[in-house]
Amino acid sequence: MALPLEGIRVVELASYVAAPSGGALLADLGADVIKVEVPWGEIYRHNNPRMAGYDSDFPASAPYQMDNHGKRSLALDLALPQAQDALRKVVDSADVLLTNMLPDRLAKYGLDPDALLEARPELIVARLSGYGPTGPEANAPAFDYSAFWSRTGLMETLHDAGTPPAFQRPGLGDHSAGLALALGIVAALRTRDSEGHGQVIDVSLQDIGYYVAGNDTSTTLVTGQSPPPHDRSCPRNPLWNHYRCADERWVFLVMIESDRYWATLAEAIGRPELATDERFENGFARYHNSLELTQLLSEAFGSEPLDHWRQALAQHRLIWAPVLTLAEAVLDEDAIERGTFPEVDHPEYGKFRTIAAPFKMSAYELRSAAPAPSLGAHTRAVCEEAGLDEETIELLLAAAG
């Protein structure tokens, strides 16, 4: 059975994470995604784990492999006029241009969206930017660290009181933006199929930050106030808090509807008498006596190691989770059974696990285990498909090394 986007061609003129991750999702759905790279390969391709502080000899960039699997690689030196002409011809054959190139650079290469749509009204142009395609920062460079994390309040919000602002892990905003790009492109393809016209899809990292933090952002919009920080020593709801175990590990309780779970939790921690203590008899009382209850829960959880609490809490219908290291988390048996970490058989790097698309389709098997392409591996084929003559193709191949 053909995948949903079989026959759709996407030209991806983008580097790093956000736009390429959206392209990888389209490739999962069957699109022919042509990744345009500089002849020496983008920096993201070459960042192996040791360069990021891991004690590992894995020879490639695992994040690059994840965000570029299933694509074809077209290596072009865009300093050459012939390469710019070739790129425009390749885009002429596409259904979608996916890019994070800033507006001024797109115009420099003859890829201004307005001009492209005037020539080909059915084309879809999907743009990723830091702060949107118009306004004073339209051409400002950005990463998700700045536009998504710092500028939207997330960095200041996600840390404990009295500690420095939290440092974002790589790709959090980017992968969220990639999902939004893929969704916008799929919607635009459906509209094109029904109405015959293309359009421009815009996703900004800043808007993604506001959306991801939407619960807080929406409340701030109506109150004008930043959210109050979480104080784990005296939370509003002690059953929605994290507690240190005897072995310095942590357990996270997430009983937001605390009245529903209080008696069961008291039994699970071996303190059933707390359920009938009038100081803690309902959510209102527990709120007013939060400091006392939090101290009692801290003492209880601090009396045994995490493995004890994993077994004890698992025997009851409660909402909680152990706070795992990432190395532990990727060993989760349920996630493995779901196919979350498919094995890639790469012609250069051998077999390794990666991350699948974050959704499943009952009628289709997505292509998350496809390897990322070798640099420039499809330059000749893509140029021939675009109708370039042999002399130009040879020039481009020589320039790409």
DSSP annotation string for 156-209: HHSS-TTSPPPPPPTTHHHHHHHHHHHHHHHHHHHHHHHHS--EEEEEEHHHHH
Q: What is the pLDDT of residue 160?
A: 84
- The residue among 100, 62, 87, 70 whose CA lies nearest residue 178 is 100
Question: Residue 293: what are its φ and ψ, rounded to 5°?
Answer: -65, -40
Per-residue pLDDT reduced to its tens digit, 292-330: 999 999 999 999 999 999 999 999 999 999 999 999 999
- Answer yes or no: do 60 and 169 share one domain: yes
pTM of the model as a whole: 0.95
The fraction of the chain above a pLDDT of 90, given in percent, is 98
Of the residues 325, 347, 374, the one at which a domain ends: 325
What value, to the nearest 5°, has the Cα angle with vertex 123 and ends 191 and 41? Answer: 125
Per-residue pLDDT reduced to its tens digit, 224-282: 999 999 999 999 999 999 999 999 999 999 999 999 999 999 999 999 999 999 999 99
- Answer yes or no: do 204 and 73 share one domain: yes
Q: What span, in angstroms and rounded, lies between the C-alpha atoms of 185 and 396?
A: 30
**Inside any domain, residue 16:** yes
**Inside any domain, residue 228:** no
Q: Sheet containing 72-75: give its strands across.
A: 72-75, 32-37, 9-13, 96-99, 124-129, 199-204
pLDDT over 80 (residue 376): yes
- Answer yes or no: do 185 and 276 share one domain: no
Instruction: Find the CATH number of the domain harbouring 125.
Output: 3.40.50.10540
Q: What is the pLDDT of residue 269?
A: 98
Q: Which residues contact 204 (CB under 8 A, 6 or more apart)?
A: 128, 129, 130, 131, 132, 147
Q: What span, in angstroms and rounded, lies between the C-alpha atoms of 268 and 300?
A: 10
pLDDT over 80 (residue 1): no
**How confident is the model over 130-152, as a mean pLDDT?**
97
Per-residue pLDDT reduced to its tens digit, 162-204: 889 999 999 999 999 999 999 999 999 999 999 999 999 999 9
CB 268 within 8 A of CB 315: yes
Instruction: Find the CATH number of the domain harbouring 315.
Output: 3.30.1540.10
Q: Would you call 200 exposed, middle or buried from its count of C-beta atoms within 10 A (0-12, 13-18, 19+)? A: middle
Per-residue pLDDT reduced to its tens digit, 123-140: 999 999 999 999 999 999
What value, to the nearest 5°, has the Cα angle with vertex 173 and ends 171 and 177? Answer: 110
Residue range of the domain that includes 282: 240-325
